[in-house]
Amino acid sequence: MRASVFVLILLAASALPAAELRTHAERSAYRETGRYAEVESLCKQFEHSYPEQIRCFVFGTSPEGRPMWALAANANGVLTPEQTRQRGLPVVLFQGGIHAGEIDGKDAGFRVLRELLQQPQKLNPLRSQVMLFVPVFNVDGHERFAAWNRPNQRGPNEMGWRTTGQNFNLNRDYMKADAPEMQHMLDLVQAWDPLFYVDLHVTDGAQFRHDISVQVEPKYAGDPGLRAIGRTFQDGVLAELRRGGSLPLPYYPSFIENDNPASGFADSVSMPRFSSGYFLLRNRFGVLVETHSWKTYPQRVDATARSIRAMMGEVARNGSKWRQYALAADAAATKLGGQPVVLDYTTGPTFRPIEFLGYAYTRTPSEVSGGIMTRYDENIPAVWKLPLFDDIQPKLTRTAPAGGYLIPPTYAAQLGPKLARHGIEFITLRSPRTIAISEFRAESASFAKTPFESHQTLTVSGTWAAANAEIAAGSLFVPIAQAKARLVMALLEPEAPDSYLAWGLFNNHFERKEYMEDYVAEAVARAMLKDPAVKAEFERRIAEDKAFAESPQQRLDFFARRHASWDTRYRLYPIRRTETIIGP
């Protein structure tokens, strides 16, 4: 009798953690999601209940002082970055709540983790990988809790806010890393080196029947050897989702023309400001999961949970092999010097017709907005025949320097820590030297008229020109021969869409700082017109360029630019390239 009682007690004790580890969302039948305090509580409870398989830890502190919690999970107790590298295990990082109103990933991740820990050991995908789970990335935004933070989304009753306490959109911050939260995340990524980084979101947009989309890169971009793996991974995840009853999509379902279903969809390669475009530059896989906002919260959490399981299943079967391919891509990237590298992509004009599962809809004039209004009828399923533009083509290609990039001392203190946070290698020059370099001068420079994410962005076009220059001690040399060569170019090539220049870090160099008074310019012009070549060029411009001819300022600038007082550093990019490999 005593033995039987003891067995019953053991069974009850073993069942206890499962009951305790249910989320507030589960207990409320997914009408609600828990507040951030629940993340800390569950994190610690998971570790207490499964101390050999779970490690709960803080990887940063938010600007409002909240701890940023993460969980590492592995069936065999591999729970630190050092252990992971020693064992050669692939790491999959699942991130919830980067937009804290889109909170499906938090509740789905906790549910899947609990179910995996209860799963028989021999069937458990946690045996062959480390699951790194960040339930809420945007922790301060999560606590800006209200009922209408997501007006285009069904449930939960209340949720967090899209942006951080400093009003940063974290999913625009992977390259510039302004937000303290992003800096902590990049430190976490650098420590753990996840093979897959999975960003769990919810869409906005139209009403239709598809419930989830899964995008992955490399697929169209990045290391050629990894693209086939990206396609295989995506195909496998989508197939598993279909078997579970979902209607998944391999592209983001946002209409080309806002609010007009007939315009169709365009697949694309995201810019690296987004998670889905950033990790391909590190020779790792970025995955964007988007559940459909008009599905109910329990439906969305279920679809997210099944996507997490499907991804872990793919990694369980193939992750060790795929990790070796990623390491091979690292080695290949060290040899990109002198090779063309694509820095931006566009979607070509060709399309293929698709059948998209939507609802009946009408588009009629609106007496409110004065525009065209779309109304959907969810009681009438319909099949939309639409164009899908998925011909992805290079938009901007630049040849990588054979040596690397040179950052002057004036920017070393600012850029050195930023590069280090991305895991980019560089050295500081201890002595000056004169070497052959290339300089970039912008022929055009266009400042954005409104700020974006606290920056005035800048778009330039121009050319690199060979020169000799003295490189000062204290300069940083960033070699191209490193695993993150693509990331180096994406940050330091001036025309790259998310470069430091594009984000406005060097705007001063593209502003006029010294001027010639008009009455002085008039006298200078009259003296210069005595030169027949100058006179001929001036008259040609007047004859051929109407805007120039009609602008007194442009006409005077013609002469100011040719005068010895002209600022020779105007529109000169302060970072240089070199074909030489440099030592300290």
- 43-101 pLDDT, tens digit per residue, is 999 999 999 999 999 999 999 999 999 999 999 999 999 999 999 999 999 999 999 99
Quick one: which of 517, 452, 515 has its CA closest to 176? Answer: 452
pLDDT at 89: 98
pLDDT at 199: 98
pLDDT at 14 over 80: no
φ/ψ (deg, to 5) at 91: -110, 135
DSSP-derived secondary structure for 60-106: EE-TTS-EEEEEEE-TT---SHHHHHHHT--EEEEE--SSTT--HHH
**Cα–Cα distances in Å, from 74 out to 9, 15, 77, 389, 413?**
27, 20, 5, 41, 39
pLDDT digits (tens, 9 = 90+) for 212-268: 999 999 999 999 999 999 999 999 999 999 999 999 999 999 999 999 999 999 999
pLDDT at 19: 56
pLDDT at 138 over 70: yes
Average pLDDT over residues 4-14: 40
- 209/514 Cα distance (integer angstroms): 60
- 300/202 Cα distance (integer angstroms): 8
Which pLDDT band holds residue 185 (cuts at 50, 70, 90)? Answer: very high
DSSP-derived secondary structure for 441-457: EEEEEEE-SS-BTTB--
For residue 516, the SS3 value is coil
Lowest mean pLDDT among 15-24, 31-40, 170-179, 350-359: 15-24
- 62/337 Cα distance (integer angstroms): 39
Which pLDDT band holds residue 5 (cuts at 50, 70, 90)? Answer: very low
pLDDT at 1 over 80: no
Kindly report the number of other CB atoms within 10 A of residue 571's CB atom.
17
pTM for the model: 0.94
pLDDT at 122: 75
pLDDT digits (tens, 9 = 90+) for 309-360: 999 999 999 999 999 999 999 999 999 999 999 999 999 999 999 999 999 9
pLDDT digits (tens, 9 = 90+) for 160-174: 999 999 999 999 999
pLDDT at 123: 80
Residues 91/195, Cβ–Cβ less than 8 Å = yes
Mean pLDDT score of the chain = 95
- Rounded to the nearest angstrom, the gap between the alpha carbon of residue 337 and the centroid of all alpha carbons in its chain is 25
Which pLDDT band holds residue 575 (cuts at 50, 70, 90)? Answer: very high
Q: Classify burial at 428, counting beta carbons within 10 Å of its beta carbon; exposed 0-12, middle 13-18, buried 19 or more.
A: middle
Residues 575/406, Cβ–Cβ less than 8 Å = yes
pLDDT at 515: 86
Sign of torsion, CA 423 403 273 304? negative
For residue 334, the SS3 value is coil
pLDDT at 32 over 90: yes
pLDDT at 389: 98
- 534/525 Cα distance (integer angstroms): 10
Kindly report the number of other CB atoms within 10 A of residue 363's CB atom.
13
Pairing of strands 433-447, 340-347: unpaired
Residues 491/500, Cβ–Cβ less than 8 Å = yes
Higher local confidence (pLDDT), 516 or 191:
191
Average pLDDT over residues 27-40: 98
Pairing of strands 352-365, 248-249: unpaired
- 219/344 Cα distance (integer angstroms): 14
DSSP 261: G
Measured N-to-C along each axis, helices 409-421 and 180-192 cross at an angle, to the nearest 10 degrees, of 60
pLDDT at 580 over 50: yes
Exposure b/e, 529-565, CB count within 10 A at least 16 = b:
eeeeebeeebeeeeeeeeeeeeeeeebbbbbbeeeee
pLDDT at 12: 40
Residues 209/357, Cβ–Cβ less than 8 Å = yes
Task: Give percent above pLDDT 70 in the chain.
Answer: 97
Task: Give percent above pLDDT 90 in the chain.
Answer: 93
Torsion region of 504: left, alpha or beta (phi above 0 gives left; psi -120 to 50 gives alpha): left
Which pLDDT band holds residue 13 (cuts at 50, 70, 90)? Answer: very low
